[in-house]
Amino acid sequence: MGLIPDLAARRAQLTPDALAFRDHETGDAWSFARVDAAAARLGAALLARVPRGARVAILCHNRPEFFVALFACQKAGLILAPLNWRQPVAELKPVLGSVNCTLVLHDETFAEPAAALGVPVMALEIPDGPALDPVQVDDEQPWYVLFTSGTTGTPKAVIQTPRMVVANAMNIAQAMGLVAEDRTLNFLPLFHTGGINLFTLPIFLWGGSSLVLRKFDAQALVALISQGAVTQFFGVPAIYQALMHMDLSGIDLSRLRGWACGGAALPEATIRFFADRGAVICNGFGMTETGPTGFLIDRAAAITRIGSVGKPQMMTEARLDGVADGQPGAGELLLRGPTVTPGYLDNPGATAASFTVDGWLKSGDVAERDSDGYYRIIDRIKDMYISGGENVYPAEVEKVLITHPSVLDAAVIGVSDATWGESGVAFLIARPGHPVDPCALTGWLRERLAGYKLPKAFHVVTDFPRTAAGKVRKPELRKLVP
């Protein structure tokens, strides 16, 4: 156990008058001093309702007050549990119960569903009244939890600690060259690690500012980029694909100091589309369990090594199961270091199952390391299927499919096959104005993939079911197979 300063209080001491947040909808500006003072008052108000150590849920769209609540919980020794506002009350109730939340904070939009959850509620407003004094914080104690997007049962609550937040900020700062003058956009949902940590909290700790949008709005993003309101940008692949369909003519994308992507692999065509317009996107890899940033490729290699997520960052150790340290090869990616969660709240069984006996987090991903130490994520272990005795990684097939001129995006799953044990089924999103011909596509694939890797069926859809991070929900696709 180690002690670190109250993060909001220390940032306010260093640059009290600098801008921390601006609400895009209202224009309301929050200096670091205002954030800290508001968090101290909200923390005191929360402790008037619940004891230290209690779990407090929050249900709201993106707004600066969310981060005030986050810092208030750190000051008060409470654990914040952001809820997925896309879920109905029936789904939120078991999530709330799984971590024994005894109070729900909410903004005005979600007053009604919050009241229906069956626990006491409190409006997300900054009270007048007494304030908490700055505190020292145990850097390993749970600060907030983020729920994994499970497909069966209740999602697990991943513990996030102050040490993870600081280590993640260090990883991002050195990779992206953060400075106090940086400005970013906060629009990814705050019940997801991307909304909190990519790059809002790192830029907060470095003294920069975030413009907070209620939620994703492609037109607003393009306008803000055009106006020079942002210097560092993070998006998941679905965000970049949405921006590709916007009018980017006349916009100097190179004005941004940093572009980054995570959550899923970014197609090469998308990378080159933006690179041709001055935006070199650095692809990375991480998990809710890793704070999240474990890998982020450097700008110089982002184009020459497309498909790589780079090397482990400063505060992250990585190794491949079954591969000698430093040697090229492929295996399950194992991670260790201060960015890694201590486990799942109130779930020792899931925690034990997720770590090796010597303390490495099992990522569940197969990764490949080359002779220069660069990593490439091959696929999720659970997504691999075996066809005719051969291992097939859907990500490899998808990577080839999206290079076809008629295919905008692809998702491949394995299904039972009486002859081969398992075979592939591909779901495709067609490029506008380019219909997909499955017969022609099969012939095209034969020239690029081994026969056992070819999907046996193709389904053209308008979109995929996705998580908040933009990842495809493949179990949902399986339900669509006849």
- Among residues 136, 166, 191, the one where a domain terminates is 136
With a cut of 70, say whether residue 163 has pLDDT above it. Answer: yes
Contact between 307 and 399 under an 8 Å Cβ cutoff? The reply is: yes
Residues 6+ apart with CB under 8 A from 148: 155, 156, 158, 288
Query: What pLDDT digit, counting tens, does each position of 357-368 carry?
Result: 999 999 999 999
DSSP 312: B
Closest CA to 226 of 186, 256, 181, 270: 256
Percent of the chain with pLDDT over 70: 99
In the predicted model, is pLDDT for residue 121 greater than 60?
Answer: yes
**CB half-sphere exposure, 120, CA atoms < 13 A:** 10
| Structural domain contains residue 204 | no
pLDDT band at residue 149 under the 50/70/90 scheme? low
d(CA 379, CA 364): 9
pLDDT at residue 391 in the model: 82
Among residues 82, 106, 136, which one ends one of the domains? Answer: 136
Residues spanned by the domain of 97: 27-136
Residue 478 to residues 52, 398, 412, 436, 465, Cα–Cα distance (Å):
44, 16, 10, 21, 11
Q: What is the layout of strands, in order, in the sheet containing 209-212?
A: 29-31, 19-23, 209-212, 183-186, 232-235, 258-261, 281-286, 293-296
- Considering the domain boundaries, does residue 268 fall inside one? no
pLDDT tens sequence across 389-435 = 788 989 989 999 999 999 999 999 999 888 888 899 999 999 989 99
CATH number, domain containing residue 409: 3.30.300.30
Helix, strand, coil tally for the chain in percent (to 5): 30, 25, 40
pTM exceeding 0.75 = yes
* Confidence class for position 1, pLDDT limits 50, 70, 90: low
Q: Is 440 helix (H, G, I), strand (E, B) or coil?
A: helix
Give a yes or no: residue 159 inside a domain.
Answer: no
The number of angstroms, rounded, from the C-alpha of 422 to the middle of its chain's C-alpha atoms is 31
Residue 307's pLDDT is 93
Give residue 195's pLDDT band: very low, low, confident or very high (50, 70, 90). Answer: very high
In a domain, 127, yes or no: yes
Task: Give the per-residue pLDDT at 153.
Answer: 54
Please list, in sequence order, all residues whose beta carbon lies within 8 angstroms of the beta carbon of residue 291, skipping any fewer than 6 positions away.
Answer: 160, 164, 165, 167, 168, 193, 197, 339, 340, 341
3-class DSSP state for residue 137?
strand
Is the confidence at residue 157, as pLDDT, over 80?
A: yes
Whether residue 151 has pLDDT greater than 60: no
In a domain, 108, yes or no: yes
The domain that contains 80 carries what CATH number? Answer: 3.40.50.980
* Whole-number pLDDT of residue 154: 65
- Quick one: pLDDT band at residue 152, thresholds 50, 70, 90? very low
> Is 438 a domain residue?
yes
**CB-based burial of residue 96 (10 Å sphere; 0-12 exposed, 13-18 middle, 19+ buried)?**
buried
Q: What percent of the chain has pLDDT over 90?
A: 84
Q: Following CA atoms 457, 238, 81, 14 in sequence, which dihedral angle do they give, to the nearest 10 degrees?
A: 150
Question: What is the rounded average pLDDT of the residues 29-44?
Answer: 98
pLDDT tops 90 at residue 303 = yes
Instruction: Tell whether 100 is covered by a domain.
Output: yes
Among 136, 168, 197, which residue terminates a domain?
Answer: 136
Banded pLDDT at 216 (limits 50, 70, 90): very high
- 258-291 pLDDT, tens digit per residue, is 999 998 888 888 999 999 999 999 999 999 999 9
The tokens describing 446, both together, are: 């034969």
Q: Retrieve residue 265's tokens.
A: 């692999």
> Could you give the CA distance from residue 442 to residue 237 in angstroms, rounded to a whole number?
26
Could you tell me the two tokens for 340? Answer: 């890694």
Q: How many domains does the chain have?
A: 2
3-class DSSP state for residue 159? strand
Mean residue pLDDT across the chain: 94
pLDDT score, position 358 = 96
pLDDT value of residue 419: 83
In a domain, 44, yes or no: yes
Which residue type does 334 have? Answer: L
**Residue 60 pLDDT:** 98
pLDDT tens-digit map of 306-348: 999 999 999 999 999 999 999 999 999 999 999 999 999 999 9
Per-residue b or e along 174-193, where b marks 16 or more CB atoms closer than 10 Å to that residue's CB: ebbebeeebbbbbbbbbbbb
